[in-house]
Every structure is written in structure tokens, then in C-alpha cells.
């Protein structure tokens, strides 16, 4: 267990979502919310009524917490400032997949047409980005000759294709702007979260916020990887802010364009990344 | 301490309005006024709503839908009627297919008069409606 990283992720989740909303607001010449706004939102959701859907499964309110617990395990396992990692790369891939899958499962179970459409799109999107995401992580693992987060040895130009693929796939995993097809607010009300209120909705919000920090942290560890607290915090903040800037300046793709993009460009690029890593090492 | 006052999420419901009040209500989230400063944001689902902004004369065709949508919101909701139409029917007074006022069908916390009310008036009304939230 790495309590320091868990604390970092817990604080950063609230701070970063504020930074993101502030960046979005300033890109639209608005002022934006106060710094404690995410905390207020979460506390408000915790004290709201949790509506039980009469037709849906009684297990439905627990779905977001499966994903949330997987995320917290990843957060507690990643290395931070010289403290060694307690989980390896393969476990991280599996746990992040569990987080991604919680979203479509909630949509399919929630007995809402919006949730159903959103869940279908989310499932298609997972099938599109999961292969290049995994291949980009694997190429980093091949290049550094390790499956542990402790022996990753920093930045290399040979990993640039894998870096680019991981960045784009992280945007898709977080449902950020060019790939926010599953929770397209203007079309799908609130996506898979439409039927959720109160504490389960707070769970979904926490997943959304923490996943951004974890993916930015993974990007840092796999491709930059300097074991120093200040560098770690600054880099993760910069990476997350760049996600927010991408969110502010891009429009939304259609789901078939998302699939096309990942199958046509990202999969070959990620395979190229693996081949380059193999050529360098073997 | 209740946190609803710090983050009121607004659901906007059109009941057959002429779109004037809707434009003014949506103007509240634009750069000139920016109610996100107060923590408010527009949400798409009534399940997430704390404040329900209703515009328009209560159209008989949409009356059942209005009631369903309002029932779907969780407890502690505040219903705010915007514009002259929700109060008296306004432009659509004595029309055969409207049934104002809104307060006849559901408990309305506050009306914001005007045809349409200015965004400043809507924000002032929301600030007062937040006092009623608990």
C-alpha cells in the first residue's frame, strides 16, 4: 500500500476537476467556479435522495462502486516519489478495464433508453481503444524490459509513437471531448448516469475525477518516469491540464468515426510502437 | 450545514413557451452572467436536479409530461416558474389548449415575472429560491 499516492490522488481529483472547469470557463471568457466547488458538489450528492428504479436490478446502485474500488486499488498501488509500487503493469491494465466496463454495465442495467444508447456507444468505444491502449503500455514494458513500475527508466524517443497512442486512448477512456460519444450531454441527457441520483451518482463523479488523475499519472510513470515528488506533481498537473485544453478546443466525433480512427490509425501506430521497442531491445 | 446552496443544479423545462424565456434562462450560463460562479450548472436529467426552471403557459398536451418530469426529481427540489406565462398565461391567456397558472398543478416556490424576465432577474430569483432549499 502506498498511502502517499492515495492521498495525492484523493486531493488531486478534486483540485484537477476544478482546474479543468476553470480552463473550460476561461476558454469561453467566463469566470468559472470557486476552488471548493467539486467538494460542494460531492457533499451535496451525498446528502441527496437516492432514487431506486422500480424496474432495474437492485444491484444497480452498487455498479459505480465496483469501478471506484478498482480505481482506488490502482491509486494505492502506483509508485510515488521513490516509494515502490505494489502492483504491476498487467494488474493495472485489468483494473482499468474493470473501471471502463462499469459505465456500460450501469447503462444496460438502468432501464432507460438514454442509458441503453450510451452503454452501447461506450461498449463500442471500449472495443476500439482498449487494444491500442494495451499495446502502447506493452511497448513501454518491452522497451524497459520489465512489468514492474519500479524499474521504468524514463523518457526515450523510441517510445514517442506509444506515447501518442496512450495519450489519445486516455482521452477516449475518460470520455473527454473528441471521444465523449457515450456521455454526449446534448444528445443523451446524461448518458449512463441518467437514472442515477444521490450516492451512486457521487460514485460516478468520483470515478470520472479519479480516472483522469490515474491516467495522467500512468502517462507520467510509463513515459517520463522521474522518481521525484515535485516533478511527479507538476508533470501530472501539466498532463491533466493538457487533457482539459484538448477538451476545450475540440468538437465531438461520431461513434463510427471514433471506431474508424482507432482501427485505421491508432492500432497500426501502436503496433509500430511495439515493433520499434522490440527492434531496440532484441 | 447543507451543501445544496453551494451547488444548485438546474433542470430547464419548457412547457410550450415561445422560447423567449428559454433564451433568457440559457443566457444565465453564458459569459455575460455565468452562474457557474455560484456553483450552478445546467443538467440534462431531472434525477440530478435541485432546481427546476419551468417556462411557458402550461400546455394541456405537455401537462402529464411536466408532472412526470417533476416527480422524477429527488426530494428537496425547488420549482421556479419563469415569465408571465407561468403566472397568468401571459400571451396565451384564455387560449383553448393552455391551463395556467403552474401553481395549480404543483407546489411552486417562486415565480419570476417578466415577458421575458432579464437574466439579472432570473439570477436574483434563483438566489432567493436557494434560501428555500434545505
Report the helix count and the strand count for chain A, using DSSP H and E: 11, 0
Q: Where are the domains of chain A?
A: 3-281
| Residue of chain A with shortest Cα separation from B4 | A44
Query: Under an 8 A CB cutoff, do A189 and B50 touch?
Result: no
3-state secondary structure A179-208: HCCCCCHHHHCCHHHCCCCCHHHHHHHHHH
Residues 68-87 of B with CB under 8 A from A: 72, 74-76
What is the enclosing helix (H) or strand (E) of A136? helix A113-144
- Chain B residues whose CB is inside 8 A of the A56 CB are none
Q: How far is CA A187 from the centre of its chain?
A: 22
* pLDDT by position in tens, chain A (length 282): 778 888 888 899 999 999 999 999 999 898 889 999 999 999 988 888 888 877 777 788 888 899 899 999 998 888 887 777 888 889 999 999 888 898 899 888 888 888 889 999 999 999 999 999 999 999 988 988 888 888 777 778 888 889 999 999 999 998 888 888 888 877 888 888 888 888 889 999 999 899 999 999 899 888 887 778 888 889 899 999 999 999 999 988 888 999 999 999 999 999 998 999 888 888
Of A30, A34, A194, nearest to B34 by CB-CB distance is A30
Query: Which domains occur in chain B, in start order?
Result: 9-132 (3.40.50.12280)
Of B34, B47, B75, nearest to A195 by CB-CB distance is B47
- Chain B residues whose CB is inside 8 A of the A34 CB are 37, 39
CA distance to partner chain A, nearest, from residue B134 (Å): 11
Please spell the DSSP secondary structure of chain B, one letter per residue: --STTTS-EEEEEESS--SHHHHHHHHTTSTTT-GGGGT-EE-S-GGG-SEEEEES--BTTTHHHHHHHHHHSPSS-EEEEESHHHHH-GGGTT-TTB---GGGTS--SEEE-SSSPPHHHHHHHHHHHHHH--
Residue A34, CB-side half-sphere exposure with 13 Å CA sphere: 10
- Chain B residues whose CB is inside 8 A of the A110 CB are none
**Cβ–Cβ under 8 Å, residues A140 and A152:** yes
CA distance to partner chain B, nearest, from residue A205 (Å): 12
| Residue of chain A with shortest Cα separation from B75 | A49
**Cβ–Cβ under 8 Å, residues A175 and A183:** yes
Query: Under an 8 A CB cutoff, do B44 and A34 touch?
Result: no
Cell of A118: 450510451
CA distance to partner chain B, nearest, from residue A117 (Å): 15
The ipTM (two decimal places) reads: 0.84
**Global confidence as pTM:** 0.87
Amino acid at each position: 500500500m502506498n498511502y502517499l499516492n492515495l492521498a495525492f490522488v484523493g486531493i488531486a481529483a478534486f483540485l484537477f476537476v476544478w482546474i479543468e472547469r476553470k480552463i473550460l470557463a476561461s476558454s469561453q471568457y467566463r469566470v468559472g467556479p470557486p476552488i471548493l466547488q467539486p467538494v460542494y458538489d460531492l457533499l451535496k450528492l451525498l446528502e441527496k435522495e437516492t432514487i431506486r428504479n422500480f424496474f432495474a436490478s437492485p444491484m444497480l446502485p452498487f455498479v459505480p462502486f465496483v469501478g471506484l474500488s478498482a480505481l482506488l486499488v490502482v491509486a494505492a498501488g502506483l509508485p510515488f516519489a521513490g516509494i515502490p509500487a505494489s502492483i504491476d503493469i498487467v494488474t493495472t491494465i485489468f483494473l482499468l478495464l474493470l473501471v471502463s466496463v462499469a459505465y456500460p454495465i450501469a447503462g444496460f442495467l438502468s432501464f432507460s433508453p438514454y442509458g441503453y444508447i450510451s452503454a452501447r456507444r461506450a461498449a463500442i468505444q471500449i472495443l476500439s481503444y482498449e487494444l491500442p491502449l494495451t499495446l502502447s503500455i506493452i511497448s513501454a514494458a518491452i522497451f524497459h524490459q520489465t512489468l514492474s513500475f519500479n524499474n521504468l527508466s524514463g523518457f526515450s524517443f523510441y517510445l514517442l509513437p506509444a506515447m501518442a497512442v496512450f495519450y489519445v486512448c486516455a482521452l477516449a477512456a475518460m470520455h473527454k471531448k473528441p471521444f465523449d460519444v457515450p456521455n454526449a450531454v446534448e444528445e443523451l441527457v446524461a448518458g449512463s448516469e441518467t437514472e442515477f441520483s444521490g450516492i451512486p451518482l457521487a460514485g460516478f463523479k468520483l470515478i470520472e475525477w479519479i480516472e483522469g488523475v490515474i491516467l495522467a499519472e500512468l502517462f507520467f510513470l510509463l513515459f517520463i518516469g522521474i522518481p521525484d515528488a515535485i516533478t511527479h506533481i507538476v508533470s501530472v498537473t501539466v498532463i491533466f491540464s493538457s487533457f482539459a485544453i484538448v477538451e476545450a478546443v475540440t468538437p465531438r466525433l461520431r461513434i463510427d468515426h471514433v471506431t474508424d480512427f482507432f482501427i485505421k490509425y491508432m492500432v497500426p501506430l501502436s503496433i509500430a510502437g511495439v515493433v520499434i521497442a522490440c527492434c531496440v531491445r532484441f | 450545514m447543507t451543501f445544496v446552496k453551494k451547488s444548485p443544479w438546474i433542470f430547464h423545462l419548457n412547457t410550450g413557451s415561445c422560447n423567449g424565456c428559454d433564451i433568457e434562462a440559457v443566457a444565465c450560463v453564458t459569459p455575460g452572467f455565468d452562474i457557474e460562479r455560484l456553483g450552478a450548472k445546467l443538467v440534462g436529467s431531472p434525477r440530478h436536479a435541485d432546481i427546476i426552471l419551468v417556462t411557458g403557459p402550461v400546455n394541456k398536451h405537455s401537462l402529464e409530461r411536466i408532472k412526470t418530469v417533476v416527480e422524477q426529481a429527488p426530494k428537496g427540489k425547488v420549482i421556479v416558474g419563469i415569465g408571465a406565462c407561468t403566472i397568468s398565461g401571459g400571451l396565451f391567456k384564455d387560449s383553448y389548449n393552455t391551463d395556467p397558472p403552474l401553481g395549480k398543478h404543483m407546489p411552486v416556490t417562486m415565480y419570476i415575472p417578466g415577458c421575458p424576465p432579464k437574466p439579472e432577474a432570473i439570477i436574483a430569483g434563483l438566489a432567493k429560491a436557494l434560501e428555500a432549499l434545505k
